[in-house]
Amino acid sequence: MKLNRTALRTVDILKLVSKKPDGITLDQICEQLSIPKTSAYDILTTLVHTGMVHVAREQKQRYTIGLTAYRVGINYTNNMDFIGTIDPVLKAFSKEVGKTVFFGVRADDEIVYICKYEPENPIITTATVGTKNPIYCTSLGKAILAYSEEEERLALTERIHFRAFTERTIRDKACFLDELEKVKEKGYALDARELEEHMECVGAPVFGPDGTVMGAISVSSLYKPTEDYEALGRRVCEKAAMLSRLLGYIGKR
């Protein structure tokens, strides 16, 4: 079977770029993949034109994964069998806690809501399937990033442009990294009215068979001073662990 060399190089470039959340230069790509500069440049130019790769035009252009590649990935995610596995579990969980339950994945420095489950009389939430929110002020984002590889976590944190949505929003890198350490200690994350003043959310990571974090689940509701969010966090953590086992994860993070 004869394979097309340009196509193979294109796939190799996409795979390499996807592993570099802080971006990678043309020289670095050529060095790591042993590709001639002219060939790599032509491929990258095409990938940028199609939206598969994004280029930041700084002193040295840096390439990151593009929106089109993200959309392809989301379509793949939506068609994966695991959605059918988690769907009945999260529907039942939403009914059990009487709150809205989400499943989300990371898209660069944002969270994308893939599934949404509501009880019979739901509290209106602004997030809908397909929408995105910043990773640093959502329980889904904190849960996912806390359990991502350290190099990836630190590189992404460097690129976050923190801005306040409420007076409780985390606004700097040091505080955010401290928060992620707390998430790892507890096993769950809180959005303590950091994105919306009236909403409190609790999230926990879901792992795939290979032990990597593939997404997170969260429970969202109107903030109540009498609610025990730490207890709710433990319940969400237990449900996320159950989903991980259903998806084939047998280890312990």
Confidence category of residue 145, pLDDT binned at 50, 70, 90: very high
When pLDDT is averaged across residues 98-108 and rounded to a whole number, the result is: 90
Give the fold, CATH level 3, of 80-246. Beta-Lactamase (3.30.450)
User: What percent of the chain shows pLDDT beyond 90?
Assistant: 47
Report domain extents, the chain.
5-70, 80-246
When pLDDT is averaged across residues 105-111 and rounded to a whole number, the result is: 86
pTM summary value: 0.68
Backbone torsions φ then ψ of 18, nearest 5 degrees: -65, -20
pLDDT digits (tens, 9 = 90+) for 156-197: 888 888 999 998 998 989 999 999 999 999 999 999 898 988
Say which range, 17-21, 32-36, 135-139, 173-177, has the weakest mean pLDDT: 17-21
- What pLDDT, on a 0 to 100 scale, did the predictor assign at position 80? 57
* Intrachain domains 5-70 and 80-246 with the same fold: no
Q: What is the dihedral of CA 93, 185, 129, 67, to 10 degrees?
A: -150
- What pLDDT, on a 0 to 100 scale, did the predictor assign at position 187? 93
Please indicate whether residue 247 or residue 146 has the higher confidence score (pLDDT).
146
Which residues, including other chains, have CB under 8 Å from residue 100's CB and lie 6 or more apart?
Answer: 94, 116, 117, 118, 119, 122, 123, 125, 219, 220, 221
Residues 192 and 200 sit within 8 Å (Cβ to Cβ): yes
Long-range contacts from 220-224, C-beta under 8 angstroms, 24+ separation? 220/99, 220/100, 220/101, 220/102, 220/123, 220/125, 220/127, 221/99, 221/100, 221/123, 222/123, 222/198, 223/193, 223/198, 223/199, 224/200
Which residues, including other chains, have CB under 8 Å from residue 207's CB and lie 6 or more apart?
Answer: 147, 213, 214, 244, 247, 249, 251, 253
Considering only CA atoms, which of 120, 121, 156, 163 is closest in space to residue 141? 156
When pLDDT is averaged across residues 10-34 and rounded to a whole number, the result is: 91
Say which range, 20-24, 34-38, 162-166, 180-184, has the weakest mean pLDDT: 20-24
- What pLDDT, on a 0 to 100 scale, did the predictor assign at position 29? 95
- What pLDDT, on a 0 to 100 scale, did the predictor assign at position 74? 67
CATH architecture of 5-70: Orthogonal Bundle (1.10)
Q: Three-class SS of residue 166?
A: coil
pLDDT digits (tens, 9 = 90+) for 49-65: 999 999 987 778 899 98
Look over the chain and give the mean of its residue pLDDT values, rounded to a whole number: 87
pLDDT digits (tens, 9 = 90+) for 206-218: 998 878 898 999 9
- What pLDDT, on a 0 to 100 scale, did the predictor assign at position 152? 84
Which residues, including other chains, have CB under 8 Å from residue 9's CB and lie 6 or more apart?
Answer: 33, 35, 39, 40, 43
- What pLDDT, on a 0 to 100 scale, did the predictor assign at position 84? 80
Q: Does residue 76 register a pLDDT over 80?
A: no
Q: Does residue 70 register a pLDDT over 80?
A: no
- What pLDDT, on a 0 to 100 scale, did the predictor assign at position 79? 54
- What pLDDT, on a 0 to 100 scale, did the predictor assign at position 183? 94
Q: Which two tokens stand for residue 199?
A: 């909403």
Say which range, 71-75, 93-97, 194-198, 240-244, has the weakest mean pLDDT: 71-75
